[in-house]
Copies of this chain bind each other. A is one copy, B any other.
Amino acid sequence: MKHYLFHENSAYTMQTLMPHQKKMRKDSRLSRMLHVLVHMHHQQHPATSEQIAQMLHTNPVVVRRTMAILKTQGYVSSGKGHGGGWTLCKPLAEISLLDIHKSLKEGSLFTIGLTDEHNQCPIEQAVNAAIDDVLQEAERLVLQRFGEVTLDQLASGFTGPASGD
Binding site for B on A (CB under 8 A): 12, 16-17, 19, 21-28, 30-32, 34-35, 38-39, 55-57, 65, 68-69, 72, 97, 105-116, 121-124, 126-131, 133-139, 141-142, 145-146, 149, 153-155, 157-160, 162-163, 165
Residues of B within 8 A of A105 (CB): 19, 22
Assess the B110–A109 pair: CB atoms within 8 A.
yes
Assess the B159–A107 pair: CB atoms within 8 A.
no
Complex Cα distance, B113 from A30, in Å, reads 8
Q: Could you say how many copies of this chain the assembly holds? A: 2
Assess the B24–A107 pair: CB atoms within 8 A.
yes
- The answer to whether A130 and B97 touch (CB under 8 A), given A115-B35, A138-B141, is yes
Smallest CB separation, A21 vs chain B (Å): 6
Complex Cα distance, B106 from A142, in Å, reads 20
CB < 8 Å neighbour of A112 from B17, B106, B114, B124 = B106
Assess the B126–A157 pair: CB atoms within 8 A.
yes
Assess the B134–A146 pair: CB atoms within 8 A.
yes
Assess the A108–B65 pair: CB atoms within 8 A.
no
Residues of B within 8 A of A134 (CB): 97, 141-142, 145-146, 149
Complex Cα distance, B34 from A123, in Å, reads 9
Complex Cα distance, B139 from A126, in Å, reads 22
Residues of B within 8 A of A55 (CB): 121
CB < 8 Å neighbour of A69 from B16, B27, B68 = B16
Assess the A111–B31 pair: CB atoms within 8 A.
no
